[in-house]
Amino acid sequence: MTDWNARRDHATDTVRRAVARSEHSWADLAAALDRPLLWTIAALLGSHALPADLAAQAGELLALDDETVATLQEQPYRVRGDELRADPTIYRFYELLGVYGPALKEAIHEEFGDGIMSAINCNVEIDRRADPDGDRVRIVIDGKFLKYQW
Amino acid sequence: MTDWNARRDHATDTVRRAVARSEHSWADLAAALDRPLLWTIAALLGSHALPADLAAQAGELLALDDETVATLQEQPYRVRGDELRADPTIYRFYELLGVYGPALKEAIHEEFGDGIMSAINCNVEIDRRADPDGDRVRIVIDGKFLKYQW
Amino acid sequence: MTDWNARRDHATDTVRRAVARSEHSWADLAAALDRPLLWTIAALLGSHALPADLAAQAGELLALDDETVATLQEQPYRVRGDELRADPTIYRFYELLGVYGPALKEAIHEEFGDGIMSAINCNVEIDRRADPDGDRVRIVIDGKFLKYQW
Amino acid sequence: MTDWNARRDHATDTVRRAVARSEHSWADLAAALDRPLLWTIAALLGSHALPADLAAQAGELLALDDETVATLQEQPYRVRGDELRADPTIYRFYELLGVYGPALKEAIHEEFGDGIMSAINCNVEIDRRADPDGDRVRIVIDGKFLKYQW
Amino acid sequence: MTDWNARRDHATDTVRRAVARSEHSWADLAAALDRPLLWTIAALLGSHALPADLAAQAGELLALDDETVATLQEQPYRVRGDELRADPTIYRFYELLGVYGPALKEAIHEEFGDGIMSAINCNVEIDRRADPDGDRVRIVIDGKFLKYQW
Amino acid sequence: MTDWNARRDHATDTVRRAVARSEHSWADLAAALDRPLLWTIAALLGSHALPADLAAQAGELLALDDETVATLQEQPYRVRGDELRADPTIYRFYELLGVYGPALKEAIHEEFGDGIMSAINCNVEIDRRADPDGDRVRIVIDGKFLKYQW
Amino acid sequence: MTDWNARRDHATDTVRRAVARSEHSWADLAAALDRPLLWTIAALLGSHALPADLAAQAGELLALDDETVATLQEQPYRVRGDELRADPTIYRFYELLGVYGPALKEAIHEEFGDGIMSAINCNVEIDRRADPDGDRVRIVIDGKFLKYQW
Amino acid sequence: MTDWNARRDHATDTVRRAVARSEHSWADLAAALDRPLLWTIAALLGSHALPADLAAQAGELLALDDETVATLQEQPYRVRGDELRADPTIYRFYELLGVYGPALKEAIHEEFGDGIMSAINCNVEIDRRADPDGDRVRIVIDGKFLKYQW
Amino acid sequence: MTDWNARRDHATDTVRRAVARSEHSWADLAAALDRPLLWTIAALLGSHALPADLAAQAGELLALDDETVATLQEQPYRVRGDELRADPTIYRFYELLGVYGPALKEAIHEEFGDGIMSAINCNVEIDRRADPDGDRVRIVIDGKFLKYQW
Amino acid sequence: MTDWNARRDHATDTVRRAVARSEHSWADLAAALDRPLLWTIAALLGSHALPADLAAQAGELLALDDETVATLQEQPYRVRGDELRADPTIYRFYELLGVYGPALKEAIHEEFGDGIMSAINCNVEIDRRADPDGDRVRIVIDGKFLKYQW
C-alpha cells in the first residue's frame, strides 16, 4: 500500500476507534456537522475531504490529534481495491450487483438512453423501515443521468 | 465456463436479442407478466427462475423457442464472477460501493446492531426523477435486516 | 477449460437438465440407487464416479444417452476452481469458512492435536429442522481425524 | 491491509499467544464465558464483537492489556479474503465445498425452494465422535432458510 | 465469456476482417458515415451502438451480413476486462497512466476542485503531427469536468 | 512492496503532505522550477528523477528534509502495478482505454503503419476549456511514432 | 486457451476416454511401449512428444484416430497454468510443496551448494508400499543437480 | 499478512539467520534433535510445532531468544499462499507437478482406486545420489493412501 | 478470448500443424522467405503481419488454405497475456527476468541514462554455440535506446 | 512478504541507496570485485550470494553496515513474483517474451531437440553498440541446452 493511503488509513482507524470509544454516534456527528449521515461517515472514513471548519469540529467532538484533523482535509485517493468486499455486511451489496446489475443496466438504457447514472453527482441515503416481519434497511441512491455524447 | 452456465447464457442472449429486435420494451414485458420491472428483467436475464406460466407468456410475447422457455424455468446459478463489472453503466455501482460501502456498514450497525441487510429478502426499484439540472436515476433497495444470532 | 473437464461438464448439464425436466427428484434418485442423498447428487454432478450398475440405473431413470452414462463412470477431476463460488446459495458456505474457519482450526487442534479432518474419508448429510421462526437447514459433516505423522 | 484490520489482527494474535502460553484451553474459556465453544473462539479471534462484560472476563482470564480488551468489543470487519485458506486444516473445508457445494445447492433448492441457508442466523458446533477406525470430527451447521422474496 | 459478448465479438471480428480485406479505410468509413474518426471505429468495433441508418450504410460499404448489421445497433456491454491490454500499441497508454495518472489527478483537483473528468461526456481525437525527428501521434481527450456533489 | 519502493513512497507522501499544507500550488512549483506542469507533478510524485538543482529548489520551496531531497534525485522504479487504478479520478482514464483503446490502435496503424506511440519520447499536457455547459478538462498526449523494425 | 493447446487437449481427452473404455491399463500400455510408467502416462496425456513408432503402437492399442496419433508426436506446450491444481489427488502434492518446499530448498543448498534440482534431466517413479496400517504411495523423484554458474 | 503469520515469519527468519551465521548445519541440528532432516528443517522454519524439549534444545544450539523458542512451539498456520513459489529451486517442483501431476493422478487411481496420497500421514526424504554425469538429488515421498469413502 | 484473437490462433495452429507435418523446417522457411529466423517464426505464429507476397509464398510452401494466408497478413493483436508462460522452455526466460531484470535496469540507466531499450525497434537472434560441456543456446537482443524526453 | 525477504530487501535498498549517493558506478564495483557486470549488480541486489571476501570488499567500497554485509552472503530466495515487472525499463523485456517467446521455443526445439536453455548454467552480458540512428542496447544470453531425459 502506498504511504499516503497508509497514512489516510491510520487517520480512518483513529476516527473509528474514537467513535467506538466515545459517547458520540455517527448520527450525532452528522447532526453536529449539519451534513447528511452517509456523507459524514464516508468523509470521516476518508472518502471525502472535510472542509477545514468541519474537520476542526469533528476533531473537537472526537478529541482527535492535529495530524488526523489535517489528514481529514486532504484530497483522498478513493476506493482502494476490494479489500473490504468480503465483510458480510458489505458483501451483500456486491451480491446484489451480481444478481441485479445487468437488469439495472437494461432499465437505465430503456428509460434514459445510452449512458450511466453518475457516481459523482450522486447521493445515498439510508433509513429504517418498520415491518411486522422484521424491520428493513432502505437505501436510496439518487444520481444524475449522464448521456454518452461527443 | 460450466456447460450449464453456458446454456443459461445462451438463453439470456436469446432473450436480449429478442427484446432488442421486438416491439416490446422491458416495461411492457413487466406489465404483461404483472411483476416488478427489475425482477422481470433479472428473471428474463437468468437471475430468477420464472414460473411455468410466466415463462410461457414471455415465450409468446418474444417468440422464444421451447428450449429457451424451458431454460428460463430452471433454478439458476446466480452471479458468475465479475465478468460484466467493467461495463461503465454497471461499474458506477461498484464504485459507489468502494466509496460508500464502509459508511453503509457503519450506518447499518449503528441503527440495527450487528448483522446485515439481506440480499435475498430484498427488492430493488428504479425510477426517473425529473430535475432541472438533468433528470436523475433513483434506485431504492429495500432489504430485511438480519441479526447475527446463534 | 481442458477438454475432459468440458466433456464432464456437458454430462453434468445433461443430468441437471434431465432432472429439471423429469418427474424425478434428487431424493427419488438417491432412494432408487440406494445411496445417501448428497453422495448421489454429487456423483451425478460429476464429483464421484458411479459404478456401472448405478450409472445404468440412473441412465434409465433419467433417459440419458449412452455417452453420458459412460462419462458418469469415469474417474473425475474434482473441484474446478472457484467458478461457482459466487452463487449466493453456495457463497454462504464460503462466508462461514471466512468467519468460523480459524475457530474450527483451533477447536480441532485443541481436541485432537495437530492434524486435519479428512475431506476424503468424510461424509456430509443435510436435512430440514422445523422451527417456529422459520425452518432451518441442518448440515452434518463427519470426517476422520488424521494426525500429522512421519 | 487497512489499519483497522491490522489493529484487529494484532489483538487476535495477542489472544492466540496468550492462550498458547496460558493454562487455559478454548473450552475453558467458553465455559467461563458461558457461550458456545466455536462462538467463543471466533469472537476472541475477531469474528464477533464481545459484550463489555465478556471482554473484561476474557481479559482477566488471559491477562490481556486494556487496548486488546477494548478492541475485542469493537464491531469487526469480518472475512479478510482468503489469506488463511491454504492452511491444510482449513483448506479441507474449502475442498469439501468444491466437491459437494453444488450438491448442497441442489439439495437445498429441492427441499426448501429458491433461497439460501443464512450464514448470519446460523450456528456451528463441533465435537468428537469415537470410532474404532479412528475418531472423527463432527461438525453441525444449523442455519435458517431464507427464501428469495420481493 | 457471456454469450452476448461472444456474439458482439463475432460481429466485431466480422467488421475487422471486412475492413482488412476491403478497399475501405477507417477514415473512408468515418467520412462516409459523417462521424468523427475514433467514434466511428469504436462503434464499428462494438463500443457504441450505431443508429439504424448508419448501421445500414456501414453494412453496405463493407458488405456485412444482416445479423452483423443488426448486432451493430444493439446496446453494447462495453469494456470486457483487460484482455487486450498487453498488445504493445495499447499497452503504451496503460503505461502512461501508470507513470502520469497520479499527476493528472493532482492537476485536475488543483484546477477544478474535487471531481473527475467524465468518460461519458467526452470525446477523443487523434492526428499526425509532422516532426523532423520522426512524426508524432497526437491525441486529444476532451471531457466535461464533474464535481462531487450531494 | 520492496524496500526501495517503500522508501520512494514515503518521499512521495512527504511531498504530497507538504504541498497540501503549504501555500504552494503544483502550478507555482512548476513555474518556479520552470518545467511543464505534469512533468513537475509526476517528478515530485516519483515518476521522474529530479536533477540536483531542481530537487534542491523544490526542497526549499516545500521545506523538505534532506533525505527526501536526496530520494527525489534517485532513478525511480516507475509504475507499481494498478494500486491506484480504482480511484475514480484515475479510473475514468482506464475506462476510456477500455472503450476506445482498440479504436486508437486501429487509427494508429492505419495512419502510421505497424508500430506504437512511444510512452517514453512523449509528453502530456492538461488545461481547462471553458464551456457554457460546464468547463472541460482537455488533455493532449503527444508521442513519437515508433515503427516495428528489425 | 490457444488453439494448439485446445487441439492437444482434445487429443488428451481422446486418449483418456479410450483408456477408460478399453481393456488396457496404463501399466499395460507402458509395458507394451517399453517405457517407464509415469513417462508413458505423461506422454499420452500430452507432456512429452511420442516418437512416431510409439505413437503408432499406442494408436493401435487404443484404436485412436490418425489425427490423434499425429498430435501425440507434436512438440508440446507443457504446463498450462494451474487449472488442474484443485483436484484433491493433485492438490496434495501442491500442499506438500507449501509445507516442505522451503525445507527442500535449504537441504539442497546445504548438500549441493547454490543451484537447483533439474526438472528436465529428471525422472519420477511411483509404486505401492505395503503397510499394515494401510498401503502407501511411494514416489521417487530423481533429478540432476545444476549449479548456478557463469 | 495476519499478525500471527508475521510473528511466525519473524521467528523463521531469526532461525534462518542464526543457522547462516552459526557453525551448525541443518544436518547437525537434525542429528542433535534426533529427528529426520526435512522434518527438522520444516519445523524450524515454521511448518511443524516443536515439542518443548526440542525447542529448548534448538534454542540452545542456535542461541535463540526466548520469544523465538516459545513461537517455535505454537501450532502453525501452514502454507501461506504461493509467495515463495517463484524461487528457482522451489519452482522446479511446481513445474514437475505441472508436467507430471495428471500422470501421478492416473497412476494412483489405477493402482489404488479412487482416493489420494495423504499429505498429512506422509514423510519426505532427500539424499544425494552419485552419478558420473553429475550428482543427483533424490527425493522420496511416502504417504498413506486414503480412499474416498462415505 | 475475443473472436479475432481466436481466429488468429486458429491460423497459428494451422501453421504449426502444417510445419510439424511437412518436410520444411522453420530455418527452411526463413531462408525461402529471405527473412531472419526468429522474425519468420514469430510472423508465422502471429506476432507480425506478413506482406502479401511472403504470405503467398508461405502458403504455397506449407499448403495453407486461403483463409489462413489472408489472416497472416492482418495487423495482429500481439501478446495475449501470460497463457504460454508456464511452458518450461519459455518459463526459463521469465525466470531470467526475475533474477536479472533489476540488474539490467541498473546497467541500462548507468550506461545510457534514464530510458529504455525499445522492444519495437529491436531484433532478436538465436544460435548454437558449441561447448565441450554441452552445447549452448546463445540469444542476442539488440534494441535502440530511447531516452525519456519531453 | 516474509520476514527474510523483507530483510533482504532492506539490504538491497541499502546498497542501491549507497551506490546512488557514492562516487562508485556499478561498473567500478564490478571491476573492483573482478566479476562480470550483470552478475555483480545482481548479486549486490540480492540475486546471488556473495562470497565473504567479495562481500567485505563491497562493504568497504560502499561503506555498508555489518548487517548488510552479512545479509549479502546469505543464500537468497530469488524472484519474488512480478512486483517490478511494470517498470517500463523492465517491462520491455516481458513484452519481448510475449511477442517472441513462442518463436524462441520453436527455434530451440528445431535446433536442439526437446529441452530448454538453462537459466542456471547461464550468463548474461550487456553492452552499448554505437549506431548513427541512435545507440543500441545489446544483450547476450548464453545458457547451456538441457535435454529432456529420463
Between E139 and G4, the more confident residue is E139
Interface test with A, best of C82, C95, C97, C100 (most A CBs within 10 A): C95
Is a pLDDT exceeding 70 seen at residue I80?
A: no
Q: Using alpha carbons only, what angle is made at residue B40 by residues A106 and B115, rounded to the nearest 5 degrees? A: 90
Asked whether at least 3 C-beta pairs link J and B within 8 Å, the reply is no
pLDDT digit string, tens, across residues B33-74: 999 999 999 999 999 999 999 999 999 999 999 999 999 999
- Chain B: residues touching D (Cβ < 8 Å): 36, 39, 48-49, 75, 77, 105-106, 109, 114-116, 118, 120-123, 146-150
Q: At what angle do helices I88-112 and J26-33 cross, to 10 degrees?
A: 110
E75 neighbors A114 (Cβ within 8 angstroms): yes
The C-alpha atoms of residue G95 and residue G111 are separated, in whole angstroms, by: 24
Rounded to a whole number of angstroms, the distance from the CA of A69 to the nearest CA of chain C is 34
What is the reported pLDDT for J80?
A: 66
Structure confidence by residue, pLDDT tens digits, F5-40: 889 999 999 999 999 999 999 999 999 999 999 999
pLDDT at residue H2, as a whole number: 78
d(CA F29, CA F42): 12
- CA proximity to J15, closest of F47, J54, J94, J34: J54
Q: Quick check: G55 pLDDT over 80?
A: yes
pLDDT at A80: 67
Q: Which residue of B has its CA nearest to E5?
A: B13
- The domain spans of chain E are 3-71, 84-113, 114-150
b/e for A43-75, b at 16 or more Cβ within 10 A? bbbbbbbbeeebbbbbbebbebeeebbbbbbbb
pLDDT band at B83 (very low <50, low <70, confident <90, very high): confident
pLDDT at E27 over 90: yes
Q: Are strands C115-129 and D115-129 parallel, antiparallel or unpaired?
A: unpaired
Give the residue from chain A lying closest to E143, CA to CA.
Answer: A150
pLDDT attached to residue C5: 85
Instruction: Tell whether the model's pLDDT for residue J142 goes beyond 90.
Output: yes
Predicted confidence (pLDDT) per residue in J23-64, tens digit: 999 999 999 999 999 999 999 999 999 999 999 999 999 999
- Judged by average pLDDT, the poorest of A79-88, G120-129, I113-122, J82-91 is A79-88
Q: Considering only CB atoms, which chain H residues are within 8 Å of J75?
A: 20
- What does the pLDDT read at residue E83? 74
Rounded-to-integer distance, Cα B99 and Cα A46, Å: 9
Are F118 and E89 an interchain contact pair (Cβ–Cβ within 8 Å)?
A: no
Please tell me the distance in Å from D74's CA to the nearest CA on chain C: 16
- ipTM summary value: 0.96
- Touching, D vs C (3+ Cβ pairs under 8 A): yes
Neighbouring-strand partners of residue E143 = E122, F137
CA angle, E144 as apex, E140 and E147 as ends, to 5°?
135
Q: Indicate the helix (H) or strand (E) that contains G119.
A: strand G115-129
Shortest CB distance from H79 goes to which of D9, D20, D87? D87
**What CATH class is the domain I3-72?**
mainly alpha
- Residue D2's pLDDT band (cuts 50, 70, 90): confident
Tell me: pLDDT of G5 over 90: no
- Chain F, nearest residue to E141 by Cα: F139
Intrachain domains I3-72 and I114-150 with the same fold: no
What is the percentage of chain A residues whose pLDDT exceeds 70?
98
Q: Taking an 8 Å Cβ-Cβ cutoff, which residues of chain J contact chain G? A: 36, 39, 48-49, 75, 77, 105-106, 109, 114-116, 118, 120-123, 146-150
Contact J13 F3 (CB under 8 A): yes
pLDDT of residue G84: 85
Tell the residue number behind the cell numbers 448501421, with chain if given: E55
Residue B3 confidence class, pLDDT cut points 50, 70, 90: confident
The answer on pLDDT for G81 being more than 80 is: no
Per CB-CB distance under 8 Å, the chain E contacts of I70 are 20-21
- Rounded CA-CA distance H141/J116 in Å is 27
Confidence of residue G1 (pLDDT cuts 50, 70, 90): low
Q: G21 to chain C: nearest residue by CA?
A: C70
Q: Which of D21, D92, D136, D138 does the annotation list as catalytic?
A: D92
Give all chains having 3 or more CB-to-CB distances under 8 Å with chain B.
A, C, D, E, F
> How does residue E80 score in pLDDT terms, banded at 50, 70 and 90?
low
Which residues make beta-bridge pairs with D147? D115
pLDDT at I84 over 90: no
Strand order in the sheet with E115-129: E115-129, E136-147, F136-147, F115-129
What is the model's pLDDT at position E135? 98
CA distance C30 to D107: 11
Min distance J123 CA to chain G CA atoms (Å): 5
Taking 80 as the threshold, does the pLDDT of residue G60 lie above it?
Answer: yes
- Mean pLDDT computed over F75-82: 81
Residue F114 to residue I48, Cβ atoms within 8 A: yes
Residues in F lying within 8 Å of I, measured between beta carbons: 36, 39, 48-49, 75, 77, 105-106, 109, 114-116, 118, 120-123, 146-150
Contact call for residues G13 and C3 (beta carbons, < 8 A)? yes
pLDDT category of residue J3 using cuts at 50, 70 and 90: confident
Chains in contact with H, where contact means 3 or more Cβ–Cβ distances below 8 Å, are: C, D, G, I, J
Q: Does residue H83 register a pLDDT over 80? A: no
Answer yes or no: do A87 and D74 touch at CB < 8 A. Answer: no
Model pLDDT, residue C1: 66
pLDDT of residue D84: 86
Q: What percentage of chain D reaches a pLDDT higher than 70?
A: 98
**Helix and strand tally (H, E) in chain D?**
6, 2
| Three cell numbers written together for I71 | 489472416
CA distance A70 to E122: 35
Chains that touch I (3 or more CB pairs under 8 A): E, F, G, H, J
With CB atoms and an 8 Å threshold, state whether G120 touches I21.
no
CATH of domain C88-147: 3.30.1160.10
* CATH number, domain I114-150: 3.30.1160.10
CB < 8 Å to F144, chain E: 131, 133-137
Q: At what angle do helices F37-44 and F3-21 cross, to 10 degrees?
A: 120
Q: Which CATH number fits domain E3-71: 2.60.40.1120, 3.10.20.30, 3.40.50.720, 1.10.260.40?
A: 1.10.260.40
Contacts of A147 in chain E (CB under 8 A): 120-121
* Residue C125: closest C-alpha in chain H: H150
Q: Which of C17, C85, C92, C136 is catalytic?
A: C92
Residues of B in contact with D39 (CB under 8 A): 150
Residue J23 appears among annotated catalytic residues: no
Chain E contact partners (≥3 CB pairs within 8 A)? A, B, F, I, J
Query: What's the rounded Cα separation, in Å, for the pair F71 and F1?
Result: 17
Name the average pLDDT for chain I: 95
| Active-site residue flag, D35 | no
Best J4, J7, J10, J131 member to test F by mutation, with max F CBs in 10 Å, is: J10
pLDDT tens-digit series, residues H17-70: 999 999 999 999 999 999 999 999 999 999 999 999 999 999 999 999 999 999
Looking at residue E124, what is its pLDDT?
A: 98
Confidence of residue H79 (pLDDT cuts 50, 70, 90): confident
Closest CA in chain H for residue I85: H95
Nearest residue to A113 via CA among A80, A146, A84, A89: A146
Plot region of C131 (φ>0 → left; ψ -120 to 50 → alpha; else → beta): beta
Contact exists between E and D (3 or more beta carbon pairs < 8 Å) = no
Mean pLDDT, rounded, of chain G: 95
Cα four-point dihedral sign C107, C109, C110, C111: positive
C120 vs H116: CB contact, 8 Å cut-off? yes
Q: Rounded mean pLDDT of J87-102?
A: 96
Average pLDDT, chain A: 95
Chain I's closest residue to H91, CA to CA, is I95
| Distance set, CA F141 to CA A52, D70, E10, E129 (Å) | 36, 53, 32, 11
Chains A and E form CB pairs within 8 A to the count of 44
Q: Verify whether the Cβ–Cβ distance J78 to I99 is below 8 Å.
A: yes
Q: What is the mean pLDDT of chain C?
A: 95
Q: Is the pLDDT of residue F4 over 90?
A: no
Which residue is closest to F87 within chain E, CA to CA?
A: E105
CB contact under 8 A, A120 and E48: no
- Residue of E28, E47, E85, E100 for testing the chain F interface, max F β-carbons within 10 Å: E100
